[in-house]
A and B are shown apart, each in its own frame.
Chain A
Amino acid sequence: MPDAAAGKTLLEVSDLQAWYGDSHILHGVNMSVGKGELVTILGRNGAGKSTTLRSIIGLLSKKTGSMRIQGVESINSSPTVIARLGVAYCPEERGIYASLSVGENLTLPPKLRDGGLSTDEIFTMFPNIKDRLSSRGSNLSGGEQQMLAIARILRTGADILLLDEPTEGLAPVIVQQIEQAITALKQRGFTIVLVEQNHRFAQKVADRHYVMESGKIVDELTNDTIAQEWDRVTRYLSV
Chain B
Amino acid sequence: MGLEYVKIAPGFEKYMPRDYVDLVKMGQFGRQVDVMDLGQFKELVEDHPMCAGCYMAYFIRIFYASLPNPEDTIVLGTAGCARLALSQAAVPFIYGNYGDTNAVASGLKRALTIRFPDKHKDVVVIAGDGGLMDIGFGMTMHSWFRREKFTTIMVDNEVYGNTGGQESGMSPKGVQLKMAPKGKQFDKINAVELAKVSGCVYVARISPTNPKRIAKVIRRAILAARHFGPTFIHAYTSCNIEYSIPTREVLADARNREKKDFKFYEWMTDEVKEYFEEMEKKEVKA
Query: Do A and B originate from a single complex?
Result: no
Query: Residues on A close to B: CB < 8 A?
Result: none
Interface residues of B (CB under 8 A from A): none
